[in-house]
Chains A and B, each alone.
Chain A
């Protein structure tokens, strides 16, 4: 049973590699597909990577909303960083914040870290995989409100991603802990 299922997963990986190969060659022909299949098998054998644990769940609506929010944030925040570079006033101090994620899955942590790095304002500096903690450096973050705002952004990213492709355990963790910032804010909100 395991062999069969992992063979299917292997096929999925090979399919995506073949797709990439065909896209590189800019034409769909039998020759390209065959050479793509051969190369995909060779690559996955030679460059052995540990398997990615998917959650088996993909919600297209939430994924779409994540994509749109991502694009929107990318544009807004790129303009913001550009503004910081251009304005005559110097940029303030940054800070390194720790965000204890609710998810425990490797893939989701990686995606949250990637997204937080792409959306200007934060870059991922380190991560603690065993505990599920991400450490990010935030630009221009020299007051408590900005630190809280940065943390809320990261948790928002995580929430969107869990809804889009988190496992059921992650969804349960999300329900248990819908607002991890409550104690930090002191319940003042």
Chain B
């Protein structure tokens, strides 16, 4: 019984973290800030739920599958947030007013100027993208 209560407490904590993620999604005013809120508590919440399951069924089979789930999440969540962040930064989804200091803008401007020059030069020759 005590194990059940421990599991329930862990799941409750996972629920609290999920709620924190959702509230952050609601309250933060910027796409990048919302990404913080969505991705971070999710990891810890999942970890707690996985520990809760592992407590109840300490068999090797469940533990390995849970390890797989957690490590997949650990690996894929940063990649997904990075891609969303990069897309959001480069396109118009960014509120510059919310940034205190921005050290990336200059590098991105230069990269885009270079790509525009590339496109112009390539447009005079064979173009892969034309139908």
Contacts and interface: CB of A to CB of B under 8 A. Distances in A.
Nearest to A27: B61
Contacts of B99: 93-96
B75 interface: yes
B82 A125 contact: yes
B65 interface: yes
Given A94-B98, A97-B101, A23 B64 contact: yes
Interface stretch (A6-14, A57-65, A81-89, A174-182): A81-89
B107 to A, nearest CB: 7
Interface residues of B, number: 49
Interface stretch (B1-9, B24-32, B112-120, B121-129): B24-32
B43 A74 contact: yes
Contacts of A124: 78, 81-82, 85
A98 B77 contact: no
Contact of B98 (A85, A93, A128): A93
Contact of B20 (A75, A82, A147): A82
Most buried by A among B29, B32, B61, B68: B32
A128 to B, nearest CB: 7
Contacts of A123: 32, 35-36, 39, 78, 81-82, 85
B68 to A, nearest CB: 6
Interface string B40-56: 11011001000000000
B103 A85 contact: no
Nearest to B45: A78
A125 B41 contact: no
B37 interface: yes
A144 to B, nearest CB: 9
Chain A interface SS verdict (over half): mixed
Contacts of A82: 16-17, 20, 24, 41
Contacts of A94: 30, 32-33, 98-100
B77 A117 contact: yes
Interface string B92-118: 000001111111110110000000000
B14 to A, nearest CB: 11
20 contacts: A20-B68, A27-B61, A78-B44, A81-B20, A82-B24, A85-B27, A94-B30, A94-B99, A94-B100, A95-B99, A96-B89, A96-B101, A97-B103, A117-B39, A118-B77, A120-B40, A123-B35, A125-B89, A126-B85, A133-B107
Interface of A: 20, 23-24, 26-27, 74-75, 77-78, 81-82, 84-86, 90-98, 113-114, 117-118, 120-121, 123-126, 128, 133, 135, 137, 139, 141-143, 147
Given A26-B60, A96-B99, 4 more contacts: A74-B47, A93-B100, A139-B33, A142-B100
